[in-house]
Structure 1
Amino acid sequence: MKSIINFSIKNKLAIWIVTIFIIVFGMFSAFQMKMEQLPNINEPIVDITTIYPGASSEEVSDKITNQIENGVRNLDGVKNVVSTSMQDASSIQVEYGFDKDLKEAEQEIEETIKNLNLPEDAQTPKVARLSFNDLPILVVSVLNQNSNLSEVSNLVKNEIQPAFEEIQGISTVNIVGNETKEVRINLLPERLQEYQLRDQDVAEYLNSVLNEFSLGVKEVDNQEKVVAIQSELDIEKLKDISVPINPQSVIEGVDQTAEATPTLNDIAEIELEQSSSSISRFNGEESIGIQVVQGVNGNTVEIIDAITNKMDELEKQYDGLTFETVLNSGDPIKDSISMMFKKALIGAAFAVLIILLFLRDIKSTLISVISIPLSLLIALLLLHRIGISLNLMTIGAMTVAIGRVVDDSIVVIENIHRKIKLSKEPLSGNALIVAATMEMFSPIMSSTIVTIAVFLPLGLVDGPVGELFYPFGLTIVFALLASLLVSITIVPMMAHFMMSRKVEKRASRDKKHKGETYRKILRWSLNHKIVSFTCINILLIGSLFLIPFIGVTFIQEDENNLLIITYDPKTGDTREEINEQVETVEDYLLGREHIELVQSSQGGGNPLNPADTRQVLFFIKYKGSVEDFGKEQEVISAEIRKQTEGEWSFQDSGSGNSQMNIYVYGNNFEEINQSIGQIEDKLSNREEVKSIKTNVSELHDKLGFQLKLDELIDNGVHPEQVYSALGGGVDMRLTTINEEGDDLPVYLNTAKAIEKQEDYLKLPISTFSGEEIELSEVTELIEQEAPSAIYNRNGKQYGEVTINVQSNDINKTIKGLENELKGISFGNGVNLEFGGVSDQIEDSFNQLIIASGLAIFVVFFVLIVTFGGGLAPFAILFSLPYAIIGSLVGLLLTREPISISVMIGALMLIGIVVTNAIVLVARIIQNEKEGIDLREAILEAGTTRLRPILMTAFATVGALVPLVFTGETDGSGLISRGLGITVIGGLTTSTILTLIVVPVVYEALMKMKKKFKKKRAQKEEVNIEA
């Protein structure tokens, strides 16, 4: 190590070049790094979506959901399987542990599904990983005052969507509310009667002649080729299709006369129509909604900047065209990171000021603080190389690391500064700087390794907490290693370059005066060990009684000016009725004072729930921050629930989580719904309950047609004829035709109009002999009630209650609600299971407590290796418990609950606190090796190391001060003031008490060791004499 220090001093030019290299490439890396708000966390969930057109929720459950559930439940690593069976669709979420390779999981699920016997008319199940990337990063509404919705739709389809999709990093561009063209064939009842045609026969004929039929692979010209029957049509050709009077006879190969054969145009109206499967509105005005979803490797900020530029170009190009931005994930990212950078700069300024106040020398201060930018730039260079993004966690880690990266340089430069000012110092020049640096190398290396070792157990924390804090820990590790390198290379070089040996007598007198005051306090404590130790431990024990008065939460919520609401209409509501309800709610929202804009999307507008085409998604943007966002949600929730009968779900876009989940298992649908009603009645009036959402599925009337098997056989009627007859009145998609370069779907509307359920039984159906009978002769109509959706969890039918809780002590509040529910008398077959944030708190806190225990063990091991024994490390560890005092007092005074942020701060304290103790004990041991008496060695070490210990502690505190003033709207809930308060409070008390406790414990242990050696020596002498 001495050779490295010597090399740095003797090769200043080389070191300056390396320093410039670090600055240039570090800054280049910073500008090249992907920028995002949080690290990308892929939830270990694989989603399986299956579309089964025309099937009821019960049919979907029996034929689709149950089969897939049974197939995937026993796959390796599966924790939970949650499913929803609804009309026309099945949605299944397969949850794994965070250690599962999701690509492998997808492949296993796809292979399992291939072996299942699913209905032929069901679409192929779509298997995809669930990710935060599925959420849109940008939502805009497109309007044009000079054009109608159809013209805007064409512009979006032909110009805007392709322009957006060309931008690198985008996964999908979803369009909501756009109008599309389609061909409608409306059969005319009077014309059908004139030609003695039945609508179902025409439907069967058109379906057979318009669709492509594959005849398989045939060998043609010595090559295998796919042979298929197909037709290419446009609207005019479609009109000219001949429809035989008895279409069934054509299908069966019976001849028809051309004169008796009408064309499709003779019996139907064929029209090109505009239609829309979804509706989007902006501030009550019809618009086109665009949702941009980012790809896995996309850069959010770059994508949004590119789209913003493209929108500006398009607005200039098309008169009257405007883009109204509803959601922009790029601005919060830039604002949050900018805010964190400002805090880092302010923290660095505080640290520099504190160092200057202690050293009272500008040159020494400049040399010390050079480690801040260099260490952080080296960290950025390494982070960029391994693909870590620039986000709140990495920037937050740098903010936290500022106070610590300067520690090593402070200790080195303070020792050099001290030796230069000693009038009796025999060394000078290179030798003095090398000796001063070497003297401090062992303690700074030990303290750096110890601090790094603290973050190693974070790798054992799984789940979202482990994923989130992985880049946080990695950033600090890189920065600390860089600071150690800087302190033994660049700092000695700059010290030799800038500092001269001058003795400032006044400074020496001040130092001596301050040292003497502490020396007297320390001497008294050493002489009164029991009294001093008892008093300090009374403070420690007393602080533990503060814990019940400090709340517990998972992550402090960041309030935002964007509110996202979903609305699930009542079963049976038509599209027109839903639209009226949405307009009513929009009018109410737009009438509220602080709301700037409202965008609604009905019919497939929710990217995380595309299968539910009835759900409505609202984006509500406020003009600025709302004083009490929780209260605002309560007011809105109460009012819109009065105006509608469906289910509302609220979520804001902050990072906090305060949800309680209750899973209700029962024997049947009625039991579950009744129990959920009891829960709602019990908790709905509680002050802490912000909102309650259930997945209660309403019962709707079901008409069941039971086949009379004997009558079917007697009349020669095939079951498929019954299905075809009942399909009347439903849009039937026949084929796709090309019109002016566009592929347009063709739909057939049959002539039957069903107004009463009795009309179904009167529908005609042909027998084998050609005679027509009514449907009532071969089927029986049974009136039933059926759920609109069926929910299963791990193979059991269940219902779910989701409660948003508002409290400063989330954990205590949720536990209270759980105990209250346990007192309710439910049915015999009903069981409750609790989940949500309470489970997350328990799981994450337990893992972090284990990680902290492992960290202490690792620290102890490193100290044993460093000091070559166990007594000195044991004395150093006595500095840890007293950090609890300041941390708990700080949290209580600031009313900050214990959160993940606080726990990470406590983990950090383990590494930070022992640093000061290491510097102190290392000096004591060095004095002892030089032959100084134990008591004098302790007193000299205390007075000599007082200034560097206070400097490093106060510099760390100063760097963290900006975090204490974290606002609720700057997006930094994960790296929040909870972490700052914990470290500042803990470091303050531990530093003060370390200067007393560690010397007291060290002297006591050394005296005990000396007595033990003396007794053993005497015992050995007695044995020898015997």
Structure 2
Amino acid sequence: MKLVNTSVKRPIGVIMVVLAIIALGVVSLRNLAVDLFPEIDLPVAVVATSYQDAAPEDVENLISRPIESSVSSVEGIDTVQSQSQSGSSMVMMMFQNGTDLDQALLDVREQVDQVKGMLPDQAGDPNILRFSPEAMPVVYLGLTGGDTAELTEIANEQIVPYFERQAGVASVSVEGGLEREIQVELDEARMSQYGITSQSVMQAISDSNNSSSVGTVEQGNQDLQLRVTGEFESINDIEETRIQTEAGDVIQVSDVATVNDDFKDRSSDTLVDGEPAIVLSVMKQTDANTVEVASNIESSMEDLKGDLPEGANLKTVIDTSDFIEMSIDSVINNILIGGAIAFLILLLFLKSFRATIVIGLSIPIALISTFTLMYFTGQTLNVLTLGGLALGIGMMVDSSIIILENIYSYKRRGYNLFDSATKGASELAPAVIASTTTTLVVFLPIIFVEGLSADLFAPLALAVSFSLIASLVVAITLVPMLSSKLLSKAMEDKGRRYWFDRFLDWLRELYSGGLSRVLKFRKTTVLVVILAIAGSLALIPRMGAEFMPSSDQGQAQITVETAPGSSLAYTQTISDQVNEVLSQYDDVIETSYVTVGATGFESGNQASYTIQMTPVAEREQTTTQIVQNLDDELQHIAGAEIVASAMDGGMQMGDPITIQLNGQEHEVLSDLSEEVLQEINQVDGVFNASSAASEGIPQMTITVDDAVARSYGLTSDQVSSQIRMKFSGQVVTQYREDGQEMDVTLVYPQEERNTINDLQDMSIQSPSGAKVPLDELVELEQEQGPESLLRENQQPQMNITSDVVDRDLGSVVSDVESALDNIHFPEGYSYSIGGQAADMEEAFAELAIALVFSIFLVYAVMAIQFENLLQPFIIMFALPTTVIGVIGGLWITGLSLSIPAFIGVIMLAGIVVNNSIVLVDYINILRRRGTDRIESIIEAGKSRLRPILMTTLTTILAMVPLGLGIGEGAELQQPLAVTIIFGLTVSSFFTLLFVPVIYLMFDNMTTKFRRKKKEA
């Protein structure tokens, strides 16, 4: 090849190009972003709307349903789900893969704007959000050591603005703080005395606090803007607001109400390590680097601590970058160990430090070149891309080994160094290019795979492909050049490694004898291989399946749910008991924080713990084992349902099993869910199964008697409005002070709106001013209401979720489906399996198609290389034998078939044929020289045994560190490494024995066919 000759003739030019690539690679590496996983683009959008103090049924009917109906017509929508609960609605839209989400969000916004006017006046404006797994806090900080009000002011005025100025920080949210509010507390007796209503007070305050432009006037050559200012400048202004009574008198707000500068009622408490605290959640910008943002926050904390008041303490509760850094360090260590192992294997075979250096240079140059290509293609350094490099570390030297071996074969035949380098490299360059191309083309179908598997493993495929391309270029340029200059005396003497040469000679003769026997007993050999494949396939029922291996990130979550309607104080007493249990695990728990009460979409009767454990190396048990022990102890706490679960590796892939019940009525679905729970709780491996149905929240249904109300001149809306005013208060206007804006809220005294008696004794004021007892206008009935209502594609839904322990996901799902078949579902009601189980099924189907296309592409590349359709078919017989290694390897190591393992199978399709290509190609070379057919097969086997052993051992042993799964985050690459290690080991053995047999059998059939054709 011209490229080989040019590189040997122009060594200085090659060296300068290599140095330029190294310099560019170092610069690229410094600028590559570091993260835990590649960016995952989920086509999901959310419409969130508040509806203060509304029951779930009202939220569903008045908010969720109109929004569902409006967005369902947006192009590209796949599924619309809604969750309605007291005070809030969330509508989630899942789009089809490939949908332009930016355009889809614009369409969603237009549709929501059309129905916004139909929503209740008390409903907040719908917020349209783009959901992203990366939209999670990078760092959680705890501010403790002071009065909550003081800490809230410090957080909002001092800490949040400072952090939001740091590079890469998008926003900082405060949890557990107090929200300032101006409360106008009405005195009902005085209001009756002056003959005014709450509506009069509300109107007076609202009218007195506004500014507006009223026009322009001319003054000389200028137009003056006329603006009337009337905003409150102090609390006294609110107290002195004038109200006109029906009698014509003028009074002030202070005559009928007390104005207090206070805080809104708290619906939750936040504690860090058992101490009341303010928790700050730091969100990063979309394109920011997690590790860099966390580092900026850490350094900023040191600057802030000196400015905090005495006693206040700011500390890190959870830092997600810690696990990222440990995972990256773990993968880098595996790369270094794998590289060292590959170097030692080369040194063992080559007996020459110079020769080992020549080939070993392929690794660092390929790695550095890969970093350059990753930077210009927008990839990040994460556990998957680095894992791909760790997996390919042994394959990077394969091409160089084959080239160098052939150069030495020419050298031993008496050629000079220049001719040995050019002829040896040129002769096998086409075979090396073909073998590398077969490895590369298996990744092409992954580009067309959709969903999470594509988002995660396309970067891995690119990383491996870049490294192999770089190593191929090194093999056909740098290796021949260095061989012609440095290896004049290499491997000419036996040296101190003579024992290994003797071992190789013995192994070569043993292989030669074995090959002669299998060529003689060809049918027996084929039968043994078929039986071995069939035996391995019989292990499939014993081999489990899962979506993704779980990573031990050291984070756990505990959810405490007391009886529906429980007070915050009662939930706190249960939380205190949980804290006592957690105190027994101080040796493995670094930090924990808990939110008790209602936050976001959590109910007021819940407490949610987030726990950060010590690193894996510092504890004897895994997070899952600790969580199981915790869960057992927490079940002894009476008065609440408590669930402990491990958080999985930061990917947030949802519950392992989600059973979705669909039908027409929420009540029927609730009953069905209880029956389903009873059935699946008997399945081995189901852990912490729970249903979205609950006992229900106690609620008082108020039914207005329209006829009676009309007789007093009242409407149903006026009655409900006065009840809402009495028990929930009403935001009247906004008060601004020092740049802050706070609500001015009309409320009644706390002691007048606490009990059921306060409701029953309430009076409604009619338009005529008469007071009508509430019990004359309404009928009160206490009942149980739902905690939340779910819908999917505008149909009621109920979800049952479950974790999986001590068994694989595939087996548990199979048993769950069998249990569900025993349940009689009414007509119109059905179930479907969702969660990770559904994602796994979808991903496996797509990857199976990718595997088929990969095999076809491998065959096509070899057909082009050999310009023959039969010989590539012969080489492909190495593929079925990988089944023995893959299934046997996963079964021996106790791993389940997962997406990483499936990716390993696809990679094997391109790797296992490489040895066969080199072997068959050399057989053809010998036959073209006139050597006998059988002799050519045996001689090619003996000659290629050494390079095949070298390439196989470097590839396999370099993956052993990953295959052992040692270190943080290694669980994700372990199935992939195990699949390749065992699959390549077994297939290499069969390549050396089975492929020659198939070659001879097909050659005999071809000879017979040609003879018959000639005779005809």
Q: TM-score range by the shorter chain?
A: over 0.9
Show the 5 A alignment for 1:69-80. Answer: 69-80=68-79
Name the CA distance, whole Å, in 2 between partners of 1:908 and 1:5: 29
What is the aligned counterpart of 1:361 among 336, 352, 363? Answer: 352
Deviation (angstroms), 1:635: 4.0
Instruction: Tell me if the contact between 1:41 and 1:464 (Cα under 8 Å) persists in the aligned partners.
Output: yes
Name the CA distance, whole Å, in 1 between partners of 2:539 and 2:406: 40
Instruction: Report what 2:742 is aligned to.
Output: 744
Name the CA distance, whole Å, in 2 between partners of 1:91 and 1:626: 41
Instruction: Report what 2:47 is aligned to.
Output: 48
Name the CA distance, whole Å, in 2 between partners of 1:749 and 1:646: 35
What is the aligned counterpart of 1:998 among 995, 1000, 1008? Answer: 995
What is the aligned counterpart of 1:597 among 591, 602, 627? Answer: 591
Instruction: Tell me if the contact between 2:50 and 2:88 (Cα under 8 Å) persists in the aligned partners.
Output: yes
1:540 aligned to 2:525? no
**Secondary structure of the residue that 1:551 maps to in structure 2?**
coil
Instruction: Tell me if the contact between 1:200 and 1:750 (Cα under 8 Å) persists in the aligned partners.
Output: no
Which amino acid counterpart does residue 630 of structure 1 have in structure 2?
T
Instruction: Tell me if the contact between 1:65 and 1:83 (Cα under 8 Å) persists in the aligned partners.
Output: yes
Instruction: Tell me if the contact between 1:706 and 1:780 (Cα under 8 Å) persists in the aligned partners.
Output: yes
Instruction: Tell me if the contact between 2:735 and 2:741 (Cα under 8 Å) persists in the aligned partners.
Output: yes
Instruction: Report what 1:448 is aligned to.
Output: 436
Instruction: Report what 1:253 is aligned to.
Output: none
Deviation (angstroms), 1:764: 4.0
Show the 5 A alignment for 1:828-847. Answer: 830-847=829-846
Name the CA distance, whole Å, in 2 between partners of 1:998 and 1:416: 25
Instruction: Report what 2:457 is aligned to.
Output: 469
Name the CA distance, whole Å, in 2 between partners of 1:747 and 1:208: 15
Instruction: Report what 2:231 is aligned to.
Output: 231
What does the per-residue CA deviation read over 1:213-242, in whole Å, with 9 as the maximum and x for residues that have no partner? 899xx7987999998885243212112212
**Secondary structure of the residue that 2:202 maps to in structure 1?**
helix
Comparing 197-206 with 992-1001, greater Cα deviation is found at: 197-206
**Secondary structure of the residue that 2:83 maps to in structure 1?**
strand
Instruction: Report what 1:522 is aligned to.
Output: 515
What is the aligned counterpart of 2:647 among 634, 648, 652? Answer: 652
Instruction: Tell me if the contact between 2:536 and 2:888 (Cα under 8 Å) persists in the aligned partners.
Output: yes
What does the per-residue CA deviation read over 1:753-808, in whole Å, with 9 as the maximum and x for residues that have no partner? 24665754664445454544444555554555432322112222121110111133
Contiguous gaps of at least 5 residues in structure 2: none
Change in CA separation of 1:723 and 1:428 when aligned onto 2, cut-off 3 Å: same
**Secondary structure of the residue that 1:599 maps to in structure 2?**
strand
Instruction: Report what 1:310 is aligned to.
Output: 300
Name the CA distance, whole Å, in 2 between partners of 1:842 and 1:126: 33
**Secondary structure of the residue that 2:553 maps to in structure 1?**
coil
What is the aligned counterpart of 2:446 among 436, 458, 470? Answer: 458
Instruction: Report what 2:139 is aligned to.
Output: 138
Instruction: Report what 2:164 is aligned to.
Output: 165
Instruction: Report what 2:863 is aligned to.
Output: 864
1:627 aligned to 2:627? no
Deviation (angstroms), 1:211: 5.7
Instruction: Tell me if the contact between 1:658 and 1:805 (Cα under 8 Å) persists in the aligned partners.
Output: no
Deviation (angstroms), 1:830: 3.9
1:432 aligned to 2:410? no
Instruction: Report what 2:241 is aligned to.
Output: 241
Instruction: Report what 2:391 is aligned to.
Output: 400
Name the CA distance, whole Å, in 2 between partners of 1:612 and 1:293: 24
Name the CA distance, whole Å, in 1 between partners of 2:855 and 2:217: 77
Comparing 739-748 with 646-655, greater Cα deviation is found at: 646-655
What is the aligned counterpart of 1:420 among 411, 417, 431? Answer: 411
Instruction: Tell me if the contact between 2:696 and 2:784 (Cα under 8 Å) persists in the aligned partners.
Output: yes
Show the 5 A alignment for 1:328-347. Answer: 328-347=319-338
Name the CA distance, whole Å, in 2 between partners of 1:447 and 1:992: 18
Name the CA distance, whole Å, in 2 between partners of 1:704 and 1:115: 32
Name the CA distance, whole Å, in 1 between partners of 2:769 and 2:254: 26
What does the per-residue CA deviation read over 1:160-189, in whole Å, with 9 as the maximum and x for residues that have no partner? 111111112222211111234322222234
**Secondary structure of the residue that 2:41 maps to in structure 1?**
coil
Deviation (angstroms), 1:455: 0.8
Comparing 153-162 with 113-122, greater Cα deviation is found at: 113-122
Deviation (angstroms), 1:848: 1.6
What is the aligned counterpart of 2:257 among 258, 268, 281? Answer: 268
Deviation (angstroms), 1:394: 0.5
Deviation (angstroms), 1:649: 6.6
Change in CA separation of 1:868 and 1:241 when aligned onto 2, cut-off 3 Å: same
What does the per-residue CA deviation read over 1:448-503, in whole Å, with 9 as the maximum and x for residues that have no partner? 11100011111122111111001000111111111111111111111122111677
What is the aligned counterpart of 2:630 among 629, 633, 636? Answer: 636
Comparing 706-715 with 563-572, greater Cα deviation is found at: 706-715
Name the CA distance, whole Å, in 1 between partners of 2:290 and 2:553: 19
Change in CA separation of 1:724 and 1:809 when aligned onto 2, cut-off 3 Å: closer
Deviation (angstroms), 1:328: 0.9
Instruction: Report what 1:125 is aligned to.
Output: 126
1:987 aligned to 2:984? yes
**Secondary structure of the residue that 2:968 maps to in structure 1?**
coil
Comparing 187-196 with 468-477, greater Cα deviation is found at: 187-196
Which amino acid counterpart does residue 504 of structure 1 have in structure 2?
E
Which amino acid counterpart does residue 575 of structure 1 have in structure 2?
L
Instruction: Tell me if the contact between 1:244 and 1:261 (Cα under 8 Å) persists in the aligned partners.
Output: yes
**Secondary structure of the residue that 2:138 maps to in structure 1?**
strand
Show the 5 A alignment for 1:63-74. Answer: 63-74=62-73
Instruction: Tell me if the contact between 1:81 and 1:95 (Cα under 8 Å) persists in the aligned partners.
Output: yes
**Secondary structure of the residue that 1:973 maps to in structure 2?**
helix
What does the per-residue CA deviation read over 1:312-356, in whole Å, with 9 as the maximum and x for residues that have no partner? 222244344433322111111111110111111111111111111
1:716 aligned to 2:713? yes
Which amino acid counterpart does residue 583 of structure 2 have in structure 1?
L
Name the CA distance, whole Å, in 2 between partners of 1:933 and 1:363: 37
TM-score normalized with structure 1 length: 0.92
Which amino acid counterpart does residue 840 of structure 1 have in structure 2?
D
Show the 5 A alignment for 1:738-777. Answer: 738-750=736-748, 753-754=752-753, 760=759, 763-776=762-775
Deviation (angstroms), 1:749: 1.5
Name the CA distance, whole Å, in 2 between partners of 1:311 and 1:84: 38
Comparing 22-31 with 222-231, greater Cα deviation is found at: 222-231
Which amino acid counterpart does residue 941 of structure 1 have in structure 2?
A
What is the aligned counterpart of 1:684 among 681, 684, 691? Answer: 681
Deviation (angstroms), 1:821: 2.6
Instruction: Tell me if the contact between 1:341 and 1:395 (Cα under 8 Å) persists in the aligned partners.
Output: yes
Instruction: Report what 1:1013 is aligned to.
Output: 1010
Instruction: Report what 1:1022 is aligned to.
Output: none
Deviation (angstroms), 1:53: 2.5
Instruction: Report what 2:370 is aligned to.
Output: 379
1:855 aligned to 2:846? no
**Secondary structure of the residue that 1:98 maps to in structure 2?**
coil
**Secondary structure of the residue that 1:136 maps to in structure 2?**
coil
Name the CA distance, whole Å, in 2 between partners of 1:528 and 1:703: 87
Which amino acid counterpart does residue 342 of structure 2 have in structure 1?
A
Instruction: Report what 1:1024 is aligned to.
Output: none
**Secondary structure of the residue that 1:662 maps to in structure 2?**
strand
Instruction: Tell me if the contact between 1:539 and 1:885 (Cα under 8 Å) persists in the aligned partners.
Output: yes
Instruction: Tell me if the contact between 1:554 and 1:899 (Cα under 8 Å) persists in the aligned partners.
Output: yes
**Secondary structure of the residue that 2:445 maps to in structure 1?**
helix
- Percent of aligned positions with the same letter in both sequences? 27
**Secondary structure of the residue that 2:971 maps to in structure 1?**
coil
Instruction: Report what 1:675 is aligned to.
Output: 672
What does the per-residue CA deviation read over 1:20-60, in whole Å, with 9 as the maximum and x for residues that have no partner? 22222212212211101111213221111011224322221
Change in CA separation of 1:190 and 1:538 when aligned onto 2, cut-off 3 Å: closer
What does the per-residue CA deviation read over 1:548-571, in whole Å, with 9 as the maximum and x for residues that have no partner? 232222222222322123445543
Change in CA separation of 1:219 and 1:54 when aligned onto 2, cut-off 3 Å: farther
What is the aligned counterpart of 1:587 among 566, 580, 591? Answer: 580
